Amino acid sequence: MRARAPRADRSNAVHAGAWWLWALGLATAASRTTNMLLLALVAAVAGYVVAARRTDAPWARSYGAFLRLGLAVLVIRVVFAVALGSPVPGTHVVMTLPEVPLPHWAQGVRIGGRVTAEGLVFAVRDGMKLAALLVCVGAANALANPARLLKSLPGALYEAGVAVVVAMTFAPHLVADVSRLRAARRLRGRDDRGLRALLQVGLPVLEGALERSVALAAAMDARGYGRTAHVPPAVRRLTAALTLGGLLGICAGTYALLSASGAGYGLPVLLLGVAAALAGLRLGGRRSARTRYRPDRWGPRAWLVAGSGAAVAALMIWAASYDPAALDPAAVPLTAPTLPLWPALSLLPGLLPAFVTPAPDRAGREERADLVRESAPEPVKGATP
Partner 1 sequence: MIRFENVSVTYADAAAPAVSGIELTVPEGELSLLVGPSGVGKSTVLGAVSGLVPHFTGGRLSGRVTVAGRDTRTHKPRELADVVGTVGQDPLSHFVTDTVEDELAYGMESLGLAPDTMRRRVEETLDLLGLAELRDRPIATLSGGQQQRVAIGSVLTVHPKVLVLDEPTSALDPGAAEEVLAVLQRLVHDLGTTVLMAEHRLERVVQYADQVILLPSPGAPPVVGAPADVMAVSPVHPPVVALGRLAGWSPLPLSVRDARRAAGPLRERLAGRTPPPTAVPDGDVLVEVDRLSVRRGRIEALRGVGLTVRAGESVALMGRNGAGKSTLLSALVGLHTPAAGSVRVGGAVPHRTRPGELVRRVGLVPQEPRDLLYADTVAAECAAADRDARAAAGTCRRLVAELLPGVPDAVHPRDLSEGQRLALALAIVLAGEPPVLLLDEPTRGLDYAAKARLVRHLRRLAAAGHAIVLATHDVELAAEVADRVVILADGSVVADGPAPDVVLSSPAYAPQVAKVLAPWLTVPQVATALDGT
With CB under 8 A, what is the number of residues at the site for partner 1? 65
Is there a contact between 8 and 360 (Cβ–Cβ < 8 Å)?
yes
**Residues in 286-345 at the binding interface with partner 1, rule: CB under 8 A:** 289-294
Shortest distance, position 278 Cβ to partner 1, whole Å: 22
Stretch binding partner 1 (CB under 8 A), from 82-90, 208-216, 325-333, 341-349: 208-216
Each residue of 278-295: b (16+ CB within 10 Å) or e?
ebbbebbbbbbebeeeee
Tell me whether residue 159 or residue 323 sits nearer to partner 1 (CB atom).
Answer: 159
**Residues in 51-90 at the binding interface with partner 1, rule: CB under 8 A:** 56-59
Q: How far is CA 385 from CA 65, 103, 176, in A?
A: 15, 49, 11
Tell me whether residue 118 or residue 296 sits nearer to partner 1 (CB atom).
Answer: 296
Q: Does 184 bind partner 1 (CB under 8 A)?
A: yes
Of the candidate residues 162, 209, 279, 332, the single one contacting partner 1 (CB under 8 A): 162
Tell me whether residue 68 or residue 227 sits nearer to partner 1 (CB atom).
Answer: 227
Tell me how far apart the alpha carbons of residues 169 and 174 are, in angstroms, rounded to a whole number. Answer: 9
Tell me whether residue 54 or residue 77 sits nearer to partner 1 (CB atom).
Answer: 54
Tell me how far apart the alpha carbons of residues 286 and 229 are, in angstroms, rounded to a whole number. Answer: 7
Tell me how far apart the alpha carbons of residues 140 and 23 are, in angstroms, rounded to a whole number. Answer: 6
3-state SS assignment for residue 93: strand
- Tell me, what amino acid is at 248? L
Shortest distance, position 160 Cβ to partner 1, whole Å: 15
Tell me whether residue 201 or residue 304 sits nearer to partner 1 (CB atom).
Answer: 201
Tell me whether residue 236 or residue 287 sits nearer to partner 1 (CB atom).
Answer: 287
Is there a contact between 42 and 132 (Cβ–Cβ < 8 Å)?
yes
Beta strands in the chain (DSSP E): 93-97, 113-116
Q: Which of these, 79, 86, 224, 255, lies nearest to 159 by C-alpha position? A: 224
Shortest distance, position 255 Cβ to partner 1, whole Å: 39
**Residues in 121-160 at the binding interface with partner 1, rule: CB under 8 A:** 145, 147
Question: Which residues in this chain contact partner 1 in the complex, by CB under 8 A?
Answer: 9-10, 56-59, 145, 147, 162, 166, 169, 172, 180-181, 183-192, 200, 203-204, 207, 212, 215-227, 229, 289-294, 368-369, 371-379, 381-385
